Protein backbone atom coordinates (compact mmCIF):
# COMPACT_ATOMS: atom_id res chain seq x y z
CA UNK A 1 0.00 0.00 0.00
CA UNK A 2 0.99 3.63 -0.19
CA UNK A 3 0.38 6.94 1.51
CA UNK A 4 -1.22 10.03 0.04
CA UNK A 5 -0.85 13.70 0.89
CA UNK A 6 -2.80 16.54 -0.69
CA UNK A 7 -3.03 20.26 -0.02
CA UNK A 8 -5.64 22.83 -0.98
CA UNK A 9 -5.10 26.45 0.08
CA UNK A 10 -6.48 29.90 -0.71
CA UNK A 11 -2.97 31.39 -0.91
CA UNK A 12 0.31 29.89 -2.17
CA UNK A 13 1.61 27.88 0.77
CA UNK A 14 4.60 25.62 1.16
CA UNK A 15 4.20 21.94 2.01
CA UNK A 16 7.54 21.57 3.84
CA UNK A 17 6.08 20.69 7.25
CA UNK A 18 3.65 18.00 6.08
CA UNK A 19 6.08 16.72 3.44
CA UNK A 20 8.76 16.27 6.11
CA UNK A 21 6.34 14.17 8.16
CA UNK A 22 5.17 12.05 5.23
CA UNK A 23 8.61 11.33 3.83
CA UNK A 24 9.72 9.80 7.14
CA UNK A 25 7.25 7.01 6.35
CA UNK A 26 9.25 6.24 3.21
CA UNK A 27 11.85 3.98 4.79
CA UNK A 28 12.09 5.44 8.28
CA UNK A 29 8.91 5.41 10.42
CA UNK A 30 6.99 3.58 7.68
CA UNK A 31 7.64 0.87 5.06
CA UNK A 32 6.77 2.96 1.97
CA UNK A 33 10.28 2.86 0.52
CA UNK A 34 9.58 2.13 -3.16
CA UNK A 35 9.71 5.68 -4.45
CA UNK A 36 7.87 8.92 -3.96
CA UNK A 37 6.63 11.85 -5.98
CA UNK A 38 5.07 15.26 -5.57
CA UNK A 39 3.46 17.80 -7.91
CA UNK A 40 3.01 21.46 -7.02
CA UNK A 41 0.73 23.58 -9.17
CA UNK A 42 1.88 27.08 -9.95
CA UNK A 43 -0.92 28.60 -11.96
CA UNK A 44 -1.60 26.07 -14.72
CA UNK A 45 2.02 24.90 -14.64
CA UNK A 46 3.38 22.20 -12.39
CA UNK A 47 6.64 21.57 -10.69
CA UNK A 48 6.98 17.85 -10.15
CA UNK A 49 9.58 15.64 -8.52
CA UNK A 50 9.71 11.86 -8.82
CA UNK A 51 12.22 9.46 -7.37
CA UNK A 52 12.32 5.68 -7.22
CA UNK A 53 14.54 5.69 -4.13
CA UNK A 54 13.12 5.85 -0.56
CA UNK A 55 11.90 9.34 0.35
CA UNK A 56 13.56 9.19 3.78
CA UNK A 57 16.96 8.87 2.06
CA UNK A 58 16.39 10.80 -1.17
CA UNK A 59 18.55 13.86 -1.85
CA UNK A 60 15.78 15.30 -4.00
CA UNK A 61 13.23 14.81 -1.19
CA UNK A 62 15.67 16.50 1.15
CA UNK A 63 15.83 19.49 -1.20
CA UNK A 64 12.00 19.66 -1.39
CA UNK A 65 11.82 19.62 2.43
CA UNK A 66 14.24 22.54 2.74
CA UNK A 67 13.25 24.60 -0.29
CA UNK A 68 9.81 26.18 0.29
CA UNK A 69 7.84 25.74 -2.95
CA UNK A 70 4.61 27.70 -2.63
CA UNK A 71 1.46 26.34 -4.19
CA UNK A 72 -2.32 26.45 -3.77
CA UNK A 73 -2.69 22.81 -4.76
CA UNK A 74 -0.20 19.99 -4.28
CA UNK A 75 -0.36 16.19 -4.44
CA UNK A 76 2.18 13.82 -2.99
CA UNK A 77 2.57 10.04 -2.79
CA UNK A 78 4.99 7.60 -1.20
CA UNK A 79 4.94 4.11 -2.54
CA UNK A 80 5.07 0.61 -1.17
CA UNK A 81 4.96 -1.42 -4.35
CA UNK A 82 2.39 -4.17 -4.85
CA UNK A 83 1.69 -4.15 -8.59
CA UNK A 84 4.53 -3.14 -10.95
CA UNK A 85 8.28 -3.00 -10.38
CA UNK A 86 10.08 -0.23 -8.54
CA UNK A 87 10.96 2.25 -11.28
CA UNK A 88 10.36 5.85 -12.21
CA UNK A 89 7.57 5.08 -14.69
CA UNK A 90 5.59 3.48 -11.83
CA UNK A 91 6.02 6.41 -9.46
CA UNK A 92 2.95 8.52 -8.59
CA UNK A 93 1.63 11.13 -9.00
CA UNK A 94 0.78 10.53 -12.65
CA UNK A 95 0.28 13.50 -14.95
CA UNK A 96 -1.60 13.98 -18.21
CA UNK A 97 -2.76 17.02 -20.15
CA UNK A 98 -6.50 17.23 -20.84
CA UNK A 99 -8.36 20.26 -22.20
CA UNK A 100 -5.27 22.44 -21.82
CA UNK A 101 -4.74 21.66 -18.14
CA UNK A 102 -2.39 19.39 -16.23
CA UNK A 103 -4.38 16.62 -14.51
CA UNK A 104 -2.54 14.99 -11.62
CA UNK A 105 -3.55 11.74 -9.90
CA UNK A 106 -2.29 9.70 -6.96
CA UNK A 107 -3.81 6.44 -5.73
CA UNK A 108 -3.64 4.38 -2.59
CA UNK A 109 -4.99 0.86 -2.88
CA UNK A 110 -5.07 -1.96 -5.35
CA UNK A 111 -7.45 -3.28 -7.99
CA UNK A 112 -6.47 -6.69 -9.28
CA UNK A 113 -6.95 -7.51 -12.96
CA UNK A 114 -8.21 -4.03 -13.72
CA UNK A 115 -9.47 -3.67 -17.30
CA UNK A 116 -9.38 -0.10 -18.59
CA UNK A 117 -11.49 1.56 -21.26
CA UNK A 118 -9.43 1.96 -24.43
CA UNK A 119 -8.88 5.52 -25.50
CA UNK A 120 -6.44 8.31 -25.99
CA UNK A 121 -4.70 7.96 -22.65
CA UNK A 122 -2.40 4.97 -22.24
CA UNK A 123 -0.28 3.91 -19.28
CA UNK A 124 3.49 4.38 -19.53
CA UNK A 125 4.37 2.09 -16.63
CA UNK A 126 2.68 -1.11 -15.46
CA UNK A 127 0.81 -0.21 -12.28
CA UNK A 128 -2.92 -0.74 -11.77
CA UNK A 129 -2.99 2.88 -10.51
CA UNK A 130 -1.85 4.47 -13.77
CA UNK A 131 -4.19 2.19 -15.70
CA UNK A 132 -7.11 3.40 -13.54
CA UNK A 133 -6.05 7.02 -14.10
CA UNK A 134 -6.06 6.49 -17.88
CA UNK A 135 -9.46 4.77 -17.66
CA UNK A 136 -10.80 7.72 -15.66
CA UNK A 137 -9.49 10.28 -18.16
CA UNK A 138 -10.76 8.30 -21.14
CA UNK A 139 -14.23 8.19 -19.51
CA UNK A 140 -14.23 11.91 -18.68
CA UNK A 141 -13.02 12.87 -22.15
CA UNK A 142 -15.58 10.64 -23.88
CA UNK A 143 -18.57 11.59 -21.74
CA UNK A 144 -18.12 15.21 -20.64
CA UNK A 145 -17.26 18.54 -22.21
CA UNK A 146 -14.35 20.79 -21.29
CA UNK A 147 -16.73 23.41 -19.84
CA UNK A 148 -18.27 20.99 -17.29
CA UNK A 149 -18.58 22.63 -13.85
CA UNK A 150 -16.40 21.26 -11.03
CA UNK A 151 -19.54 20.11 -9.16
CA UNK A 152 -20.95 18.20 -12.15
CA UNK A 153 -17.52 16.75 -12.83
CA UNK A 154 -17.27 15.63 -9.19
CA UNK A 155 -20.62 13.84 -9.42
CA UNK A 156 -19.37 11.99 -12.48
CA UNK A 157 -16.06 11.16 -10.74
CA UNK A 158 -17.92 9.82 -7.69
CA UNK A 159 -19.82 7.35 -9.86
CA UNK A 160 -16.55 6.21 -11.45
CA UNK A 161 -14.76 6.05 -8.08
CA UNK A 162 -17.61 4.00 -6.71
CA UNK A 163 -17.15 1.45 -9.51
CA UNK A 164 -13.41 1.29 -8.81
CA UNK A 165 -13.95 0.95 -5.05
CA UNK A 166 -16.26 -2.00 -5.66
CA UNK A 167 -13.43 -3.79 -7.49
CA UNK A 168 -10.76 -3.22 -4.85
CA UNK A 169 -9.28 -0.49 -2.69
CA UNK A 170 -9.47 3.00 -4.17
CA UNK A 171 -8.39 6.04 -2.16
CA UNK A 172 -7.42 8.84 -4.50
CA UNK A 173 -6.39 12.44 -5.01
CA UNK A 174 -7.10 14.08 -8.38
CA UNK A 175 -6.66 17.69 -9.47
CA UNK A 176 -6.54 19.93 -12.51
CA UNK A 177 -4.97 22.71 -10.47
CA UNK A 178 -8.26 24.49 -9.87
CA UNK A 179 -10.02 21.94 -7.63
CA UNK A 180 -8.83 18.89 -5.66
CA UNK A 181 -11.08 15.82 -5.72
CA UNK A 182 -10.61 13.30 -2.90
CA UNK A 183 -12.30 9.89 -2.53
CA UNK A 184 -11.97 7.52 0.40
CA UNK A 185 -12.48 3.81 -0.04
CA UNK A 186 -10.83 2.73 3.21
CA UNK A 187 -8.60 5.38 4.79
CA UNK A 188 -8.27 9.16 4.58
CA UNK A 189 -8.31 12.16 6.92
CA UNK A 190 -8.20 15.93 6.55
CA UNK A 191 -7.58 19.03 8.57
CA UNK A 192 -8.36 22.66 7.75
CA UNK A 193 -6.17 25.25 9.39
CA UNK A 194 -7.39 28.86 9.66
CA UNK A 195 -7.07 31.78 12.13
CA UNK A 196 -6.48 31.67 14.99
CA UNK A 197 -3.52 29.49 14.03
CA UNK A 198 -1.62 27.52 16.67
CA UNK A 199 1.33 25.19 16.92
CA UNK A 200 1.39 21.61 15.62
CA UNK A 201 3.73 18.70 16.14
CA UNK A 202 4.55 16.00 13.57
CA UNK A 203 3.81 12.38 14.48
CA UNK A 204 6.74 11.02 12.44
CA UNK A 205 9.55 13.48 13.17
CA UNK A 206 10.60 15.63 16.05
CA UNK A 207 9.36 18.82 14.40
CA UNK A 208 6.96 21.43 15.77
CA UNK A 209 5.72 24.42 13.81
CA UNK A 210 3.92 27.56 14.93
CA UNK A 211 1.53 28.27 12.07
CA UNK A 212 0.73 31.69 13.56
CA UNK A 213 4.23 32.81 12.60
CA UNK A 214 3.91 31.48 9.03
CA UNK A 215 0.46 32.70 8.01
CA UNK A 216 -1.80 35.72 7.69
CA UNK A 217 -5.27 36.03 9.24
CA UNK A 218 -7.05 35.22 5.96
CA UNK A 219 -5.16 32.04 5.10
CA UNK A 220 -7.10 28.80 4.81
CA UNK A 221 -4.95 25.70 4.29
CA UNK A 222 -6.29 22.16 4.20
CA UNK A 223 -4.24 19.00 4.30
CA UNK A 224 -5.62 15.63 3.21
CA UNK A 225 -3.64 12.49 4.07
CA UNK A 226 -3.98 8.74 4.38
CA UNK A 227 -3.33 9.07 8.10
CA UNK A 228 -3.13 12.18 10.33
CA UNK A 229 0.35 13.69 10.18
CA UNK A 230 0.23 15.60 13.47
CA UNK A 231 -0.34 14.31 16.98
CA UNK A 232 -1.95 17.37 18.57
CA UNK A 233 -4.67 18.46 16.14
CA UNK A 234 -8.20 17.18 15.50
CA UNK A 235 -8.25 15.56 12.05
CA UNK A 236 -11.57 14.78 10.38
CA UNK A 237 -11.59 11.14 9.37
CA UNK A 238 -13.34 10.23 6.10
CA UNK A 239 -15.80 7.34 6.14
CA UNK A 240 -15.58 4.59 3.49
CA UNK A 241 -17.35 5.90 0.38
CA UNK A 242 -16.97 9.52 1.44
CA UNK A 243 -15.72 12.14 -1.03
CA UNK A 244 -14.87 15.80 -0.73
CA UNK A 245 -14.18 18.37 -3.43
CA UNK A 246 -11.76 21.08 -2.31
CA UNK A 247 -11.14 24.55 -3.70
CA UNK A 248 -9.03 27.30 -2.11
CA UNK A 249 -8.74 25.29 1.11
CA UNK A 250 -12.50 24.80 1.56
CA UNK A 251 -14.83 21.87 0.87
CA UNK A 252 -17.14 23.04 -1.94
CA UNK A 253 -19.00 19.74 -2.33
CA UNK A 254 -19.08 16.46 -0.48
CA UNK A 255 -21.08 13.28 -0.04
CA UNK A 256 -20.95 9.58 0.61
CA UNK A 257 -21.81 6.57 -1.51
CA UNK A 258 -22.22 2.93 -0.62
CA UNK A 259 -19.24 0.93 -1.83
CA UNK A 260 -20.47 -2.41 -0.53
CA UNK B 1 15.80 33.33 -27.83
CA UNK B 2 16.76 30.33 -25.80
CA UNK B 3 19.43 27.68 -25.56
CA UNK B 4 19.01 23.95 -26.00
CA UNK B 5 20.99 21.03 -24.62
CA UNK B 6 20.40 17.38 -25.45
CA UNK B 7 22.21 14.17 -24.61
CA UNK B 8 22.13 10.74 -26.22
CA UNK B 9 24.27 7.98 -24.73
CA UNK B 10 24.64 4.22 -24.92
CA UNK B 11 24.90 3.92 -21.13
CA UNK B 12 23.24 5.92 -18.34
CA UNK B 13 25.38 9.04 -18.01
CA UNK B 14 25.03 12.14 -15.88
CA UNK B 15 24.66 15.57 -17.46
CA UNK B 16 26.29 17.53 -14.58
CA UNK B 17 29.25 18.87 -16.59
CA UNK B 18 27.27 20.17 -19.59
CA UNK B 19 24.38 21.30 -17.40
CA UNK B 20 26.78 23.36 -15.27
CA UNK B 21 28.03 25.11 -18.39
CA UNK B 22 24.58 25.76 -19.85
CA UNK B 23 23.02 27.08 -16.66
CA UNK B 24 25.69 29.80 -16.41
CA UNK B 25 24.06 31.29 -19.49
CA UNK B 26 20.83 31.68 -17.53
CA UNK B 27 21.60 35.03 -15.92
CA UNK B 28 25.37 34.82 -15.60
CA UNK B 29 27.41 34.46 -18.83
CA UNK B 30 24.22 34.69 -20.93
CA UNK B 31 20.88 36.53 -20.85
CA UNK B 32 18.62 33.44 -20.74
CA UNK B 33 17.21 34.21 -17.31
CA UNK B 34 13.49 33.52 -17.80
CA UNK B 35 13.40 30.00 -16.50
CA UNK B 36 14.90 26.64 -17.31
CA UNK B 37 13.90 23.00 -17.39
CA UNK B 38 15.36 19.56 -17.89
CA UNK B 39 13.95 16.07 -18.42
CA UNK B 40 15.96 12.91 -17.84
CA UNK B 41 14.59 9.63 -19.14
CA UNK B 42 14.96 6.61 -16.90
CA UNK B 43 13.53 3.73 -18.90
CA UNK B 44 10.11 4.96 -20.01
CA UNK B 45 9.82 7.19 -16.95
CA UNK B 46 11.09 10.73 -16.72
CA UNK B 47 12.52 12.86 -13.99
CA UNK B 48 11.85 16.48 -14.84
CA UNK B 49 12.70 19.77 -13.21
CA UNK B 50 11.22 23.12 -14.19
CA UNK B 51 11.83 26.51 -12.68
CA UNK B 52 10.76 29.99 -13.74
CA UNK B 53 13.69 31.63 -11.94
CA UNK B 54 17.13 32.12 -13.59
CA UNK B 55 19.11 28.87 -13.78
CA UNK B 56 22.31 30.57 -12.59
CA UNK B 57 20.58 31.41 -9.30
CA UNK B 58 18.13 28.51 -8.94
CA UNK B 59 18.45 26.25 -5.92
CA UNK B 60 16.87 23.42 -7.89
CA UNK B 61 19.39 23.90 -10.74
CA UNK B 62 22.14 23.86 -8.15
CA UNK B 63 20.86 20.51 -6.85
CA UNK B 64 20.72 19.09 -10.41
CA UNK B 65 24.33 20.21 -10.99
CA UNK B 66 25.55 18.46 -7.86
CA UNK B 67 23.34 15.37 -7.86
CA UNK B 68 24.38 13.04 -10.70
CA UNK B 69 21.18 11.83 -12.37
CA UNK B 70 22.10 9.13 -14.87
CA UNK B 71 20.19 8.87 -18.10
CA UNK B 72 20.64 7.69 -21.69
CA UNK B 73 18.53 10.55 -23.05
CA UNK B 74 18.09 14.02 -21.59
CA UNK B 75 16.73 17.34 -22.87
CA UNK B 76 17.36 20.73 -21.33
CA UNK B 77 16.35 24.30 -22.11
CA UNK B 78 17.07 27.73 -20.71
CA UNK B 79 14.70 30.48 -21.69
CA UNK B 80 14.90 34.08 -22.74
CA UNK B 81 11.23 34.90 -23.13
CA UNK B 82 9.89 36.41 -26.33
CA UNK B 83 6.33 35.03 -26.62
CA UNK B 84 4.42 34.31 -23.39
CA UNK B 85 5.00 35.56 -19.86
CA UNK B 86 7.64 34.18 -17.50
CA UNK B 87 5.82 31.41 -15.64
CA UNK B 88 6.08 27.70 -15.03
CA UNK B 89 3.49 26.75 -17.66
CA UNK B 90 5.69 28.43 -20.30
CA UNK B 91 8.87 26.65 -19.26
CA UNK B 92 10.37 24.03 -21.61
CA UNK B 93 10.81 21.15 -22.04
CA UNK B 94 7.15 20.33 -22.65
CA UNK B 95 5.92 16.80 -22.01
CA UNK B 96 2.98 14.79 -23.32
CA UNK B 97 2.10 11.10 -23.30
CA UNK B 98 1.51 9.52 -26.70
CA UNK B 99 1.18 5.81 -27.44
CA UNK B 100 2.23 4.94 -23.88
CA UNK B 101 5.48 6.91 -23.98
CA UNK B 102 6.58 10.27 -22.64
CA UNK B 103 7.32 12.64 -25.54
CA UNK B 104 9.53 15.55 -24.57
CA UNK B 105 10.13 18.67 -26.67
CA UNK B 106 12.28 21.79 -26.40
CA UNK B 107 12.42 24.61 -28.95
CA UNK B 108 14.74 27.48 -29.72
CA UNK B 109 13.35 30.14 -32.02
CA UNK B 110 10.10 31.88 -32.70
CA UNK B 111 7.18 31.52 -35.09
CA UNK B 112 4.87 34.53 -35.06
CA UNK B 113 1.11 33.99 -35.41
CA UNK B 114 1.50 30.22 -35.47
CA UNK B 115 -1.78 28.43 -36.20
CA UNK B 116 -1.88 24.85 -34.91
CA UNK B 117 -3.87 21.88 -36.12
CA UNK B 118 -6.75 21.23 -33.72
CA UNK B 119 -6.65 17.89 -32.02
CA UNK B 120 -6.21 16.00 -28.81
CA UNK B 121 -3.15 17.87 -27.61
CA UNK B 122 -3.70 21.41 -26.38
CA UNK B 123 -1.24 23.94 -24.99
CA UNK B 124 -1.33 24.63 -21.25
CA UNK B 125 0.69 27.86 -21.39
CA UNK B 126 0.77 30.53 -24.07
CA UNK B 127 4.09 30.10 -25.89
CA UNK B 128 4.39 29.55 -29.62
CA UNK B 129 6.74 26.65 -28.75
CA UNK B 130 4.15 24.59 -26.86
CA UNK B 131 1.60 25.32 -29.58
CA UNK B 132 4.04 23.96 -32.19
CA UNK B 133 4.66 20.86 -30.05
CA UNK B 134 0.90 20.19 -29.81
CA UNK B 135 0.56 20.72 -33.57
CA UNK B 136 3.39 18.26 -34.17
CA UNK B 137 1.84 15.61 -31.90
CA UNK B 138 -1.62 16.09 -33.42
CA UNK B 139 -0.11 15.59 -36.89
CA UNK B 140 1.86 12.50 -35.85
CA UNK B 141 -1.12 10.96 -34.07
CA UNK B 142 -3.47 11.64 -36.99
CA UNK B 143 -1.15 10.50 -39.76
CA UNK B 144 1.05 7.71 -38.36
CA UNK B 145 0.62 4.51 -36.38
CA UNK B 146 2.21 3.70 -33.05
CA UNK B 147 4.41 1.04 -34.65
CA UNK B 148 6.07 3.46 -37.09
CA UNK B 149 9.85 2.94 -37.25
CA UNK B 150 12.08 5.71 -35.88
CA UNK B 151 13.49 6.29 -39.40
CA UNK B 152 10.06 6.68 -41.01
CA UNK B 153 8.95 8.86 -38.12
CA UNK B 154 12.04 11.05 -38.58
CA UNK B 155 11.26 11.51 -42.28
CA UNK B 156 7.77 12.66 -41.34
CA UNK B 157 9.16 14.98 -38.64
CA UNK B 158 11.62 16.51 -41.11
CA UNK B 159 8.77 17.48 -43.43
CA UNK B 160 6.90 19.07 -40.52
CA UNK B 161 10.04 20.79 -39.20
CA UNK B 162 10.69 22.14 -42.67
CA UNK B 163 7.24 23.73 -42.71
CA UNK B 164 7.85 25.28 -39.28
CA UNK B 165 11.30 26.55 -40.28
CA UNK B 166 9.80 28.27 -43.30
CA UNK B 167 7.49 30.23 -40.97
CA UNK B 168 10.19 31.38 -38.52
CA UNK B 169 13.08 30.02 -36.53
CA UNK B 170 12.79 26.39 -35.51
CA UNK B 171 15.67 24.61 -33.78
CA UNK B 172 14.34 21.69 -31.77
CA UNK B 173 15.00 18.63 -29.66
CA UNK B 174 12.33 15.90 -29.50
CA UNK B 175 12.44 12.47 -27.89
CA UNK B 176 10.26 9.58 -26.80
CA UNK B 177 13.10 8.19 -24.66
CA UNK B 178 14.23 5.74 -27.32
CA UNK B 179 15.54 8.15 -29.98
CA UNK B 180 16.42 11.85 -29.96
CA UNK B 181 15.40 13.89 -33.02
CA UNK B 182 17.27 17.15 -33.63
CA UNK B 183 16.54 19.78 -36.27
CA UNK B 184 18.57 22.91 -36.98
CA UNK B 185 16.97 25.94 -38.53
CA UNK B 186 19.70 28.42 -37.62
CA UNK B 187 22.04 27.21 -34.88
CA UNK B 188 23.05 23.85 -33.41
CA UNK B 189 26.21 21.86 -32.77
CA UNK B 190 27.07 18.41 -31.49
CA UNK B 191 29.96 16.42 -30.18
CA UNK B 192 30.35 12.67 -29.75
CA UNK B 193 32.73 11.51 -27.05
CA UNK B 194 34.12 7.98 -27.15
CA UNK B 195 37.38 6.20 -26.22
CA UNK B 196 40.07 7.37 -25.97
CA UNK B 197 38.47 9.97 -23.72
CA UNK B 198 40.33 13.13 -22.78
CA UNK B 199 39.83 16.26 -20.73
CA UNK B 200 37.45 19.09 -21.62
CA UNK B 201 37.03 22.60 -20.34
CA UNK B 202 33.75 24.52 -20.12
CA UNK B 203 33.45 27.82 -21.98
CA UNK B 204 31.09 29.35 -19.41
CA UNK B 205 32.58 28.27 -16.09
CA UNK B 206 35.99 27.52 -14.76
CA UNK B 207 35.43 23.77 -14.78
CA UNK B 208 37.55 21.08 -16.41
CA UNK B 209 36.65 17.40 -16.50
CA UNK B 210 38.70 14.35 -17.35
CA UNK B 211 36.21 12.09 -19.11
CA UNK B 212 38.70 9.22 -19.00
CA UNK B 213 38.15 9.03 -15.25
CA UNK B 214 34.35 9.03 -15.59
CA UNK B 215 33.78 6.54 -18.38
CA UNK B 216 34.45 3.01 -19.59
CA UNK B 217 36.00 2.11 -22.93
CA UNK B 218 32.65 1.25 -24.52
CA UNK B 219 30.82 4.47 -23.61
CA UNK B 220 29.51 6.66 -26.40
CA UNK B 221 28.04 9.97 -25.24
CA UNK B 222 26.82 12.70 -27.56
CA UNK B 223 25.89 16.23 -26.59
CA UNK B 224 23.80 18.49 -28.80
CA UNK B 225 23.61 22.19 -27.95
CA UNK B 226 22.73 25.55 -29.45
CA UNK B 227 26.37 26.58 -29.11
CA UNK B 228 29.45 24.53 -28.22
CA UNK B 229 29.79 24.23 -24.44
CA UNK B 230 33.52 23.48 -24.31
CA UNK B 231 36.43 25.51 -25.60
CA UNK B 232 38.92 22.72 -26.35
CA UNK B 233 36.96 20.14 -28.35
CA UNK B 234 35.94 19.98 -32.02
CA UNK B 235 32.16 20.37 -32.21
CA UNK B 236 30.32 19.51 -35.43
CA UNK B 237 28.23 22.48 -36.44
CA UNK B 238 24.82 21.76 -38.04
CA UNK B 239 23.95 23.60 -41.24
CA UNK B 240 20.55 25.32 -41.59
CA UNK B 241 18.02 22.65 -42.55
CA UNK B 242 20.20 19.84 -41.21
CA UNK B 243 18.68 17.14 -39.01
CA UNK B 244 20.14 14.19 -37.11
CA UNK B 245 18.38 11.29 -35.41
CA UNK B 246 20.31 9.97 -32.42
CA UNK B 247 20.09 6.63 -30.64
CA UNK B 248 22.47 5.31 -27.97
CA UNK B 249 24.87 8.18 -28.63
CA UNK B 250 25.14 7.56 -32.39
CA UNK B 251 23.55 9.25 -35.40
CA UNK B 252 21.27 6.60 -36.97
CA UNK B 253 19.86 8.86 -39.69
CA UNK B 254 20.56 12.35 -40.94
CA UNK B 255 19.98 14.70 -43.82
CA UNK B 256 19.41 18.26 -44.89
CA UNK B 257 16.45 20.07 -46.40
CA UNK B 258 16.12 23.47 -47.97
CA UNK B 259 14.35 25.86 -45.63
CA UNK B 260 14.50 28.85 -47.97
Q: What is the pLDDT of residues A120-167, one digit of tens each?
A: 999 999 999 999 999 999 999 999 999 999 999 999 999 999 999 999
Catalytic residues of B: 2
Give dist(CA A76, CA A4) in Å, integer.
6
pLDDT band at A83 (very low <50, low <70, confident <90, very high): confident
Residue of B nearest to A91 (CA): B45
pLDDT confidence band for B128 (50 / 70 / 90): very high
Number of separate domains in chain B: 1
Q: How far is B143 from chain A (nearest CA, A)?
A: 15
Report pLDDT digits (tens) over B164-188. 999 999 999 999 999 999 999 999 9
As a whole number of angstroms, the distance between CA A26 and CA B164 comes to 47
Beta carbons of B137 and B124 less than 8 angstroms apart? no
- Measured CA to CA, the distance from residue B187 to residue B165 in angstroms comes to 12
The residue-averaged pLDDT of B18-40 equals: 85
Chain A residues lying within 8 Å of B14, measured CB to CB: none
- A102–B124: do the CB atoms touch at under 8 Å? yes
Q: What angle do CA A234, A240, A242 make, to 5 degrees?
A: 75
Contact A96, A133 (CB under 8 A): yes
Q: Which residues from B are below 8 Å from A45, CB to CB?
A: 50, 52, 87-91, 124-125
Q: Which of A45-59, A162-176, A208-222, B33-47 reaches the highest mean pLDDT?
A: A162-176
Q: Does B126 touch chain A (CB under 8 A)?
A: no
Highest mean pLDDT pick, B12-21, B194-203, B219-228 = B219-228
CA distance B38 to B46: 10
Q: Considering only A13-22, A70-79, B129-138, which range has the smallest mean pLDDT?
A: A13-22
Question: Can you tell me whether residue A68 is helix, strand or coil?
Answer: coil
Q: Could you tell me if A38 and A74 are in contact, meaning their C-beta atoms sit under 8 angstroms apart? A: yes
Q: Is the Cβ of A118 closer than 8 Å to some Cβ of chain B?
A: no
Chain B CB within 8 Å of residue A84 CB: no
DSSP-derived secondary structure for B18-65:
HHHHHHHTBTTSSB--S-EEEEEEETTEEEEEEESS-GGG-HHHHHHH
Q: What is the DSSP letter of B91?
A: P
Residue A86 forms contact with B (CB below 8 Å): no
Q: Are A218 and A250 in contact (CB under 8 A)?
A: no
DSSP of B165-191: HHHSEEEEEEE-SS-EEEE-SS--EEE
pLDDT at B108: 95
- Cβ separation of B49 and A46 shorter than 8 Å? no
Compute the distance between CA of residue A118 and CA of residue A123 in angstroms, rounded to an integer.
11
CA atoms within 13 A on the CB side of B160: 23
Query: Using CA atoms, how far apart are residues B178 and B252, in angstroms rounded to an integer?
Result: 12
The ipTM estimated for the assembled molecules is 0.93
Euclidean distance between CA atoms B48 and A119, whole angstroms: 26
* A46-57 pLDDT, tens digit each: 999 999 888 888
Starting from the edge strand earliest in sequence, which strands make up the sheet with B242-247, in order? Answer: B94-98, B101-110, B169-175, B180-183, B242-247, B250-256
Task: Report the C-alpha gap between A164 and A11 in whole angstroms.
Answer: 33
In this predicted structure, what is the pLDDT of residue B92?
94
**Chain A residues in contact with B120 (beta carbon < 8 A):** 120
Cβ distance of B45 and A102 shorter than 8 Å: no
Residue of A nearest to B97 (CA): A96
- Catalytically annotated residues of A: 2
DSSP H or E stretch at residue A114? none
Mean pLDDT throughout B155-159? 98
Question: What are φ and ψ of residue A182, in 5° steps?
Answer: -130, 135
The residue among A207, A221, A230 whose CA lies nearest residue A71 is A221
The whole domain housing A228 covers: 3-256
User: Measured in Å, how far apart are chain A's first and last C-alpha atoms?
Assistant: 21
Of B64-73, B117-126, B241-250, give the lowest mean pLDDT range.
B64-73
Distances in Å between the alpha carbon of B166 and those of A173, B162, B171, B258, B259? 44, 6, 12, 9, 6
Q: Specify the pLDDT at position B206.
A: 86
CATH number at residue A113: 3.60.20.10
Segment (H or E) for A172? strand A169-175
Identify the DSSP state of B126: -
Which residues, other chains included, contact A235 with Cβ-Cβ below 8 Å and sequence gap of 6+? A189, A190, A191, A228
CA distances from B22 to B26, B40, B67, B165 (A): 7, 16, 16, 24
**How distant is the Cα of B5 from the closest Cα of chain A, in angstroms?**
20
Amino acid sequence: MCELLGMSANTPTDLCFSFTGLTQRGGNTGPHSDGWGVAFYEGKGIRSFHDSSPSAKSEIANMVQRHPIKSKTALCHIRQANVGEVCLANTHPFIREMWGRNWVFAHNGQINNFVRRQGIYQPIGDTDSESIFCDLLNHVRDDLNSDVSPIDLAKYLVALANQYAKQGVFNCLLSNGDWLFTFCSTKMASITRRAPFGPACLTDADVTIDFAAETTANDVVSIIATQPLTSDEAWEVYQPGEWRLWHDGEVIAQGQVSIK
